[in-house]
């Protein structure tokens, strides 16, 4: 094992401050972190993940004040979102300040910033700020997997994905499974109204209620997780409605992900049967990874119904199923 496995935020922060990489747990998914102001360290994120250079990263910071240091022209509605949902699973996109270089913005004039809610991630950020004597220090951290694949929700998932690309100076911080299991909501705050770029735990209805504003429409801002094909296992993903399941022509031994009320046909291998939408989100990526571990060719998925978080789960499934 070329890297170090740690359960201490201090060690992870020290590695980051020295320009190394750290696999970090958040409340959403595990991230591959680097010091956000180091072009060399951030460059290793892109090579480790095989990530396109124009695909922007999210800067994770400790406080609202740190977020505004990375931004300019922070509108009042964004302040409302900060007050309501930070620390938590929401990323805001602002016009960037001079702190945000092209190597984390994908060359755009905007920067994505998040104040994470995970206590252990916040401990890492606190230690990093102390190491660097800079309260506005940030960790650039996309999901800790190869680009386009299934995001990791445990440290072991991340190790299986990129462990062979880490070095002896890098560190993996293991804090158990992620609580939410899908990536943060991304809200574009560069125009006169908030616009949802990527759905997540914080819903469109939540954003509208917190800001008292009608949401804006389409945006030209690029953000993580917006490609048509993303979050994809090696197995093919087939989306079906529960009523259609018995009639689907699927190979024997295919996997099944479906709400607990949906019975498992004899020819399918049950991978997950969540009882709630929250359980569905938290278990989705693990189940997709299990399909690959079992070398299944196909995963049949009955998506969750309803609005809110279910919309975010369906977004991930639609992209995972994109041919």
pLDDT value at residue 218 = 87
Q: Cβ neighbours of residue 105 under 8 Å, at least 6 residues apart? A: 56, 57, 96, 111
Percent of the chain, pLDDT > 90?
87
114 vs 250, residue with greater confidence = 114
Average predicted confidence (pLDDT) for the chain: 95
Across the range 216-244, mean pLDDT stands at 89
Residue 181 predicted with pLDDT over 80: yes
Average confidence (pLDDT) over 86-95 = 98
> In this structure, are residues 122 and 130 in contact, taking their beta carbons and an 8 Å threshold?
no
Q: How far apart, in whole angstroms, are the C-alpha atoms of residue 260 and residue 263?
A: 7
Query: Hey, do 4-211 and 236-321 end up sharing a CATH topology, with the first three levels equal?
Result: no
Give the number of other Cβ atoms within 10 Å of residue 310's Cβ. 18
Q: What is the pTM of this model?
A: 0.95
123 Cβ neighbours under 8 A, 6+ residues apart: 9
Position 224 scores a pLDDT of 86
Q: Stretch 261-267: mean pLDDT, rounded?
A: 91
Average pLDDT estimate for 106-133: 97
**Rounded distance, CA 238 to CA 256, Å?**
10
At 113 the pLDDT is 98
Fold of 4-211: DHBP synthase (3.90.870)
| pLDDT the model gives residue 122 | 98
Name the nearest CA neighbour of 32 among 245, 202, 42: 42
- Domain ranges for the chain, please list them: 4-211, 236-321
CA dist 140 and 208 (Å) reads: 28
Name the one residue in this structure whose structure tokens are 């499974």. Answer: 177
Question: Is a pLDDT exceeding 70 seen at residue 323?
Answer: no
Q: Encode pLDDT of 36-90 as tens digits.
A: 999 999 999 999 999 999 999 999 999 999 999 999 999 999 999 999 999 999 9
For domain 236-321, give its CATH number from 3.40.50.720, 1.10.3720.10, 1.25.60.10, 3.40.50.11030.
3.40.50.11030
Contact criterion met (CB below 8 Å) for 304 and 287:
no
Q: What average pLDDT score do residues 186-215 get? A: 97
How many CB atoms neighbour CB 229 within 10 A? 12
Residue 1 has pLDDT above 70, yes or no: no
| Cα separation, 321 vs 311, whole angstroms | 15
Q: What is the pLDDT, as a whole number, of residue 184?
A: 98
CA distance 18 to 210: 39
């Amino acid at each position: 094992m070329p890297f170090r496995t740690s359960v201490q935020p201090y060690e992870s922060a020290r590695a980051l401050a020295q320009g190394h990489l750290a696999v970090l747990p958040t409340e959403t998914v595990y991230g591959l972190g680097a010091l956000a102001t180091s072009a060399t360290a951030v460059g290793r994120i892109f090579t480790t993940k095989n990530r396109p250079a124009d695909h922007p990263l999210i800067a994770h910071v400790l406080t609202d004040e740190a977020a505004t240091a990375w931004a300019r022209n922070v509108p009042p509605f964004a302040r409302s979102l900060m007050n309501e949902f930070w620390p938590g699973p929401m990323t805001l996109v602002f016009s960037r300040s001079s702190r945000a270089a092209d190597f984390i913005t994908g060359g755009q004039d905007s920067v994505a910033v998040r104040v994470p809610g995970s206590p252990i991630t916040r401990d890492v950020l606190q230690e990093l700020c102390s190491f660097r004597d800079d309260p506005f220090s940030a960790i650039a951290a996309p999901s800790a997997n190869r680009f386009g694949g299934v995001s990791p929700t445990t440290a072991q998932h991340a190790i299986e994905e990129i462990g062979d690309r880490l070095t002896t100076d890098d560190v993996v911080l293991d804090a158990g499974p992620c609580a939410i299991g899908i990536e943060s909501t991304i809200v574009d705050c560069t125009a006169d109204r908030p616009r949802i770029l990527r759905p997540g735990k914080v819903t469109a209805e939540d954003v509208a209620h917190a800001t008292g504003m009608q949401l804006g429409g389409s945006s030209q801002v690029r953000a993580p997780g917006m490609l048509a094909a993303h979050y994809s296992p090696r197995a093919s993903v087939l989306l079906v409605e529960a009523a259609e399941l018995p009639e689907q022509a699927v190979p024997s031994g295919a996997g099944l992900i479906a709400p607990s009320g949906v019975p498992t046909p004899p020819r399918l291998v049950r991978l997950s049967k969540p009882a709630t939408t929250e359980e569905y989100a938290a278990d989705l990526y693990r189940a997709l990874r299990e399909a690959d571990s079992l070398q299944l060719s196909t995963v049949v998925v009955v998506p969750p119904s309803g609005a809110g978080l279910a919309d975010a789960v369906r977004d991930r499934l639609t992209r995972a199923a994109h041919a």
